[in-house]
Amino acid sequence: MELSDKYLFEHKGFSFVRDLVTAEYIEALEDFEIRDSDVFLVTYPKSGTIWTQQILSLIYHEGHRDGTENIDLIDRVPWLEYNINHMDYVNRASPRLFATHLPYYLVPKGLRSGRTKVIYVARNPKDVCVSLYYFSKFSVKLEEIEDFNSFMERFLAGKLVASSWLDHIEGWSAHRDDFNILFLTYEEMKKDLKSAILKICNFLGKRLTDKVVDAIVDKASMANMRVDRRTNYKQMSPELLDFSKGSFLRKGIIGDWKNLMTVAQSERFDCVFKERMEKLPFKFCWDNKDDL
Ligand code: PPS
């Protein structure tokens, strides 16, 4: 199965959105100078990136209300590899917060064995696949594949943006000792957001009052992020997103895959993913009713 080269290109075994970045830019990122105070949020797409971007931004800025509430989320925690708003990352004031979908082997070299903090958020891959399917419908820069079965086969083969889910998580997990990294799951955030936020604060060495933590829980809720124009990404250019076809904050639930996948598709998914997933040191939750 070939990569759809009108939309994507591959660089060192990982696929990127063609219109948004070049291989030269990705290559140069390996030497991007990092600071101990930087924080990198790493995700495979559709795993809770903007949710965690919002949480990180609130942890760093909410307490002292320095005006960040008037800045779009994408500018508070910009994407490392997709510098959509052409920001000056090099001269950005500390602490710099970045989001990235990069695999472990393409991130800035300085992140390895350093003090810079990395947070990896993972989500059960069936929900990731379904979320990406709907996202592809409204992202102008991704190919829309109408038939879900064909889309799922592409996902299983790692032939979509960001390549293989399994390779991504296996890579980051196997190299966890090379980084100062915290692993979290979307599902644990869903089930107990306050505990997840406290875990993040603890990792970042941030002590916030109970009142501030509660305010973060509130501001990071699906309902509030949906109506907040700084966090719902509705300010994004129509050249990137067609809001008549969907939204970034779609459902935000555990187990939506059950509303789209047939039993046969789910079994096919398990057949391809199960063996490698069982070796991962994470417990995935496939349904809201499952315990973590
Ligand atoms: S992207 O394009 O990679 O940045 O997308 P990403 O932000 O990783 O994932 C989008 C999915 O995350 C859901 N989301 C949330 N869930 C719960 N609570 C909050 N606050 C929240 N914010 C975003 C969003 O709805 C997408 O999932 P689906 O399943 O499509 O609804």
Q: What is the pLDDT of residues 203-222, one digit of tens each?
A: 999 999 999 999 999 999 99
| pLDDT for position 50 | 95
- Local confidence band at 236 (pLDDT 50, 70, 90 cut-offs): confident
- Local confidence band at 228 (pLDDT 50, 70, 90 cut-offs): confident
* Atom number of ligand 1 nearest to Cα 48: 8
| pLDDT for position 146 | 94
| pLDDT for position 4 | 58
For residue 49, the CA-to-ligand 1 centroid distance in Å is 7
| pLDDT for position 178 | 97
Q: What is the mean pLDDT of residues 160-173?
A: 98
pLDDT in tens, 238-250: 899 988 898 889 9
255 lines ligand 1 (CB under 6 A): no
Q: Which amino acid is at 207?
A: R
* Atom number of ligand 1 nearest to Cα 221: 20
| pLDDT for position 229 | 84
**Mean pLDDT for all residues in the chain:** 93
131 lines ligand 1 (CB under 6 A): yes
According to CATH, what is the number of the domain 8-124+164-238?
3.40.50.300
256 lines ligand 1 (CB under 6 A): yes
* Atom number of ligand 1 nearest to Cα 256: 29
Q: What is the mean pLDDT of residues 32-43?
A: 97
Q: Rounded to whole angstroms, what are the CA distances from 269 to 171, 173, 290?
A: 20, 21, 19
50 lines ligand 1 (CB under 6 A): yes
| pLDDT for position 289 | 80
Which of 46, 127, 186 for mutating ligand 1's site (highest number of atoms within 8 Å of CB)?
Answer: 46
- Whole-angstrom distance, CA of residue 71 vs CA of residue 81: 20
| pLDDT for position 291 | 74
- Whole-angstrom distance, CA of residue 55 vs CA of residue 49: 10
Considering the chain, what percentage of its residues have pLDDT values greater than 90?
Answer: 82
Helices first, then strands: H and E counts in the chain: 11, 6
Measured in degrees and rounded to the nearest 5, phi and psi for residue 210 equal -60, -35
Alpha helices in 220-262, H assignment, sequence order: 222-227
Burial 119-150, CB ≥16 within 10 A → b, else e: bbbbbbbbbbbbbbbbbbebbebbeebeebee
Considering the chain, what percentage of its residues have pLDDT values greater than 70?
Answer: 96
Structural contact between residues 145 and 136, judged by C-beta atoms closer than 8 angstroms: yes
pLDDT in tens, 51-104: 999 999 999 986 545 556 678 888 899 999 999 999 999 999 999 999 999 999
**Extents of the domains making up the chain:** 8-124+164-238
| pLDDT for position 1 | 43
Q: Which of 11, 64, 101, 175 is catalytic?
A: 101
How many residues in total does the chain contain? 292
